[in-house]
Structure 1
């Protein structure tokens, strides 16, 4: 019997030997060595038995390379081409941001508008959430899709629309953090922006985008997937790879703005040129699209209007990646060299950022100078690392971090820490810093210095190994109105099992006092002043500290 959760997945058997397929006809004005390098990047998808990708590269607005690999449809043996339409995942966000910017230029919206002016369904949390907070992931709003997953009906299991988004967000009693104090990626902001555009423009977000954005920009093959049931000529299917097969995995939802852009690599090349020149809308449009978020302490973050403002080595880069169902995407612009790279894929095993950067490196060549890798062991030799070793906990989410010392080098997980002083460490080869604090000569925690945070700290905590009697204390039923679900907790030999309707189970293991972890889930139990367990707190990905009440207390 086909269940609602699996009826959209259709398995396609692999042949035991992949059959090489010639890549789609290539449009290229580049050296053959660059072409060969790109072909090598996509060699594992260059088969009649595999989905694949389409790649487009422009320089100063002129197409210099277009090529496609693998199949658009494995059931009908249709190959990908540079004209194939794919879904772009979160590359979509910059188009939602652009629609907002157009209404700002019209004088209809302001980036400083309170979201509740347009969407009063959002609760009043006591702090203004602006449209720019939504655009730059600094609003503190929980990610509605993560909440839906906690409920047992995630985005891949149910056809959510924007009414569902509003329903979920209207039930949330708290934010992840105060607006403007932190960057934390959340799709909620971009779905709300789509709703704002609906209400402020007086027309649907999809229609507004078509007439005011895509058509004036010359993007004739681009539209929103506002209905997953609509037939789109030239669209690829999308696939997940399993052990011995591919299975169809296309989005089954109506929400868009956070994702849902249907486009080609050619149209994305046109778009990147618009972001460079301003296209029909001029320099004010470019400026607002690239306006970074600013945290409460005055520091700028690296995220703007659906755009990540970063670098590749020492080369300035404006990029975004995308991932939805089986689709993958990368869009990058390297302004100093005039290079634009667009990659759209229908195979879920394509690493978006790494693959997109590999393409960019092929075209940027010697322009990229990567920083030298530190000699961590030599630089650490003069420091006593032992006081820093131990288990640490982030207070809001409860997520643990274990710092270890191996062969004379301090590690956070698998990332080496470079000592800059007796209390400050650089994390890997990046900009993040850990500033450790001592009290009475002992390390008690550290603060994180990074562009993502104005305030983020970890406290040192002891590890915990409860006995069976202690584990039995946590047994019971726990309910969340915010996620509209409940957990049944039972003790096991080494931890706790959590059961959830209809019949999902996962096991969590003790980390520190009253704290249990399973992969990305962190479960902390809450006690009253008498020490009685009254509830639990769940943090998972883009949801911090969701409270469940213990029934019968």
Structure 2
């Protein structure tokens, strides 16, 4: 089927797509993008493309159930991961419109279990990820019980929050994506309405819109018809990775690409009402006035060449991406049961590959101009927010991150890096402006790969907040952290700069950090563990040697 024939029904009438995209063979394009999931007994994806709200293309790739040789089909159901958040946001905004709660309400009005941090956290700050609350799932990984290893429920997340004495940052001062906020929003909705989230959204959203195959996974033991099994890749092949948990609100939506396209069409057409639809897509602002890409359950890039409203999702081995491009009247829904072993970005990468093909967006050209001043910017720079590193190296082509990512010189001391802007202020400091609207300062540090006196760091460290204790012991080339009560749970860290040790997480290389804290005499009194920016410093006090 020719893409031109597909799109003529709606897209090209009011806002024609580029001719290069219109000439593409849609089946061939999709087959090329999803080729790794078309050969043999492997999991895969279902993609749906619609114009003007009418599904024009739905294609399925790979197996829904490898063991029983059941292929994915256009109506196969998947979990949507964080794509689920926009449905919670819509439900909360309905309550706001009805006057049953306010975006400016202190969340402790509905959740008295939440500690008083000396500054209120509002309902709106839960919606736009500016609350400062740590991400519960990443915190549980630090505690040694990642998601899918325990049957967590929403009340477990609330109990986790009740133990927290620290935030990532002051509410409203910064952005740190946190699943915790959307679990709390689900609980708030249920306390305000007296209905479950599943019932409320079924009555007010899914049934009125005709989303017949959409609902919530509130009990993972429930047998669901036509649901794909989730898998991740391992060196030995694909293995199952189902979300064995009863937490919902941050994720947990079971749906199809067809229903997601119905949802996108409803938002585009204003079927949820002027207030809800507009409020969902309104960019958030920090206390200092900076505008964020995140809105309420949706990402709305500020300076996109083609306006976009989207969100990705990942849970277990499920991956998802839902986007619409209003000026092109185009929607793309992607649901996969093929997760990568490490990382959570496959859904967005595949979805964007589809979008780029349809919109005729060519890959960015590689820089061709040499940067003769690059050498002066080499070295280790450390984030003030997280302590995580940015290691810069130079070669004949210019400046790059040590993982090979190129920095494109825009002007003296100013670079672009994968959507971020890097600006140097002298030799020892740089500012990083990320596309999500946040800013971070990095300062030069001396690299210390020796790690100092490792025996002085040894001991047992405990966190009441995470209910976990780690034993730190030296090992060749680094340190090992071992849970006291579960000695088989270990992770190794490598030294990078004084009292800072790095480790790899499923978000990428060196996205986890252990930092030791010393008193005035130089004795080590505690350590903190950070995962990316979502848990910036979970503190463990030293209790024994």
By the TM > 0.5 criterion, same fold? yes
Cα deviation per residue 1:46-104 (whole Å; 9 max; x = unaligned)? 24612222121110011111121222222222221111111111111111111111111
> Are the counterparts in 2 of residues 425 and 434 from structure 1 also a CA contact under 8 Å?
yes
Match of 1:435, SS state, is strand
Structure 2 counterpart of 1:3:
none
Structure 1 counterpart of 2:424:
436
- Pick the aligned partner of 1:458 from 434, 442, 456: 442
Deviation for aligned residue 1:398: 1.7
Deviation for aligned residue 1:40: 2.1
Structure 1 counterpart of 2:328:
337
Deviation for aligned residue 1:395: 3.0
- How many aligned positions are there? 514
Structure 1 counterpart of 2:247:
255
Q: Which residues of 2 match residues 300-315 of structure 1 at below 5 A?
A: 300-310=291-301, 314-315=305-306
> Are the counterparts in 2 of residues 277 and 283 from structure 1 also a CA contact under 8 Å?
no
Residue 454 (structure 2) pairs with residue 477 (structure 1): no
Residue 501 (structure 2) pairs with residue 509 (structure 1): no
Cα deviation per residue 1:162-219 (whole Å; 9 max; x = unaligned)? 1110111111111111122222211011111111111111111111111111111221
Cα deviation per residue 1:235-269 (whole Å; 9 max; x = unaligned)? 12112233343222211000111111101111111
Distance 1:400 1:44 in 2: 33
> Are the counterparts in 2 of residues 88 and 260 from structure 1 also a CA contact under 8 Å?
yes
Structure 2 counterpart of 1:85:
77
> Are the counterparts in 2 of residues 319 and 331 from structure 1 also a CA contact under 8 Å?
yes
Q: Which residues of 2 match residues 118-133 of structure 1 at below 5 A?
A: 118-133=110-125
Gap runs ≥5 in structure 2: 8-22, 505-510
Once structures 1 and 2 are overlaid, which stretch shifts more, 447-456 or 493-502?
Answer: 447-456
Residues 32 and 427 of structure 1, relative CA distance in 2, 3 Å threshold: closer
Deviation for aligned residue 1:29: 3.6
> Are the counterparts in 2 of residues 417 and 425 from structure 1 also a CA contact under 8 Å?
no
Once structures 1 and 2 are overlaid, which stretch shifts more, 56-65 or 493-502?
Answer: 493-502
Deviation for aligned residue 1:415: 2.9
Deviation for aligned residue 1:514: 1.4
> Are the counterparts in 1 of residues 410 and 416 from structure 2 also a CA contact under 8 Å?
no
Residues 62 and 159 of structure 1, relative CA distance in 2, 3 Å threshold: same
> Are the counterparts in 1 of residues 165 and 465 from structure 2 also a CA contact under 8 Å?
yes
Cα deviation per residue 1:465-522 (whole Å; 9 max; x = unaligned)? 4477x11111111111111111111122322121113122222121111111122321
Residue 405 (structure 2) pairs with residue 415 (structure 1): yes
Distance 1:75 1:415 in 2: 39
Match of 2:112, SS state, is coil
Distance 1:214 1:544 in 2: 37
Deviation for aligned residue 1:287: 0.6
Residues 363 and 421 of structure 1, relative CA distance in 2, 3 Å threshold: closer
Match of 2:338, SS state, is coil
Residue 380 (structure 2) pairs with residue 385 (structure 1): no
> Are the counterparts in 2 of residues 415 and 427 from structure 1 also a CA contact under 8 Å?
no
> Are the counterparts in 1 of residues 214 and 259 from structure 2 also a CA contact under 8 Å?
yes
- Pick the aligned partner of 2:264 from 262, 266, 272: 272
Distance 1:523 1:98 in 2: 38
Residues 250 and 465 of structure 1, relative CA distance in 2, 3 Å threshold: closer
Residues 449 and 39 of structure 1, relative CA distance in 2, 3 Å threshold: closer
Distance 1:299 1:157 in 2: 38
Distance 1:301 1:162 in 2: 28
- Pick the aligned partner of 1:328 from 315, 319, 324: 319
Cα deviation per residue 1:421-453 (whole Å; 9 max; x = unaligned)? 44x4222263x3233333xxxx22222233546
- Pick the aligned partner of 1:400 from 367, 376, 389: 389
Deviation for aligned residue 1:149: 1.0
Distance 1:199 1:338 in 2: 38
Distance 1:45 1:370 in 2: 23
Residue 26 (structure 2) pairs with residue 34 (structure 1): yes
- Pick the aligned partner of 2:353 from 318, 335, 358: 358
Structure 2 counterpart of 1:45:
37
Distance 2:324 2:365 in 1: 24
Structure 1 counterpart of 2:508:
none
Match of 1:155, SS state, is coil
Distance 2:440 2:243 in 1: 35
